[in-house]
Amino acid sequence: MSAIRLLVLGAVRQHGRAHGYQVRNDLEYWGAHEWSNAKPGSIYHALKQMAKQGLLHAHEIAPSTAGGPPRTEYEITEQGTGEFRKLLRDSLTAYDQKPDVLSAALGFMVDLDREEVLGLLEERVRTIEEWRKSVTEYYTPEEGPAQLGHIGEIMNFWVTSADTGAQWTRGLIERIRGGAYTFAGEGEPFVGVLREGQENPYATGDRHPQDHH
C-alpha cells in the first residue's frame, strides 16, 4: 500500500478544490516529504493518474494575470471519496505496512466517526496479536534470540515490533475513548491545511516544473 494516494486524496478533499501546488504545499506543511514518498514529482503524477481513474475531477481554470499556462484545479469525486475512505480504513487496521501509510492514516482518522475508528484500531490490535502468535509458534521469546543463532534476532525484532505496535495502539484507543480530538459529526474539525496565500514555514523551497500548472 502506498501513502501517496491517501495523502493526495485527503489534501484535495480538505480544500474542496485545489491545484497541484496547493497539494504539494500542504504535504510539505505536514512534513510528509520527510516521512513518506510525497515528493513533488510523485504528487503531480498521482494527481494526473487519479484524475484519469475518475477519483479526481480536473478543472482547467483561466491563466493568472501574470500570464503562463492555465492551471488545473482538482476536486475529489464520489468515487474518489470512496477510495479515500477505503484506503483510510485499510491503513488503520493493517499491521504490516510501512510507517508512512499509518502516519498518513493518523492524519485523516478524524474524517471518520469516533466509534468506527475505535473499532478499526481494535481490529488492528487483534491482527497484531494473531501475527505475534504465529511467530511464537516456532520462536519462544522468553528463551531469547540466541536459541536460533543470530537469525533469532530477526524473530526477536518481529516480536518486539508487534508488542510495541500493540501497546501504542492500545494507548491511542484509550485516548480516543477518553474524548480526545474532534471526529466526524462532533463539531468543527481541526484545520490542517494552509489558506490561499498563507506562508508555509516548512516548505522546502525546491522548484519543480509543474508547480504552476
* 14-35 tens-digit pLDDT: 888 888 888 888 888 888 878 8
The 10 Å Cβ neighbour count of residue 38 is 26
pLDDT at res. 89: 96
* 45-57 tens-digit pLDDT: 999 999 999 999 9
pLDDT at res. 212: 55
pLDDT at res. 181: 94
Residue 1 has pLDDT above 70, yes or no: no
Residue 64 has pLDDT above 60, yes or no: no
Name beta bridge partners: 149. Answer: 147
Give the CA angle between residues 114, 119, 123 to the nearest 5°. 145
Beta carbons of 60 and 36 less than 8 angstroms apart: no
The 10 Å Cβ neighbour count of residue 60 is 10
* 76-135 tens-digit pLDDT: 999 999 999 999 999 999 888 788 899 999 999 999 999 999 999 999 999 999 998 887
pTM recorded for the entire structure? 0.81
Question: Dihedral of CA 7/9/14/18: which sign?
Answer: positive
3-state SS of the chain is: CCHHHHHHHHHHHHHCCEEHHHHHHHHHHCCHHHHCCCCHHHHHHHHHHHHHCCCEEEEECCCCCCCCCCCEEEEECHHHHHHHHHHHHHHHHCCCCCHHHHHHHHHHHHHCCHHHHHHHHHHHHHHHHHHHHHHCCCCCHHHCCCEEEECHHHHHHHHHHHHHHHHHHHHHHHHHHCCCCCCCCCCCCCCCCCCCCCCCCCCCCCCCCCCCC
- Look at the block and give the residue holding cell 477518553: 178
Closest CA to 91 of 109, 118, 68: 109
pLDDT at res. 87: 95
pLDDT at res. 68: 61
* 135-172 tens-digit pLDDT: 788 777 777 777 777 878 888 888 898 999 999 999 99
The 10 Å Cβ neighbour count of residue 104 is 30
pLDDT at res. 213: 54
* 163-212 tens-digit pLDDT: 999 999 999 999 999 999 999 999 887 666 556 666 655 455 565 555 55
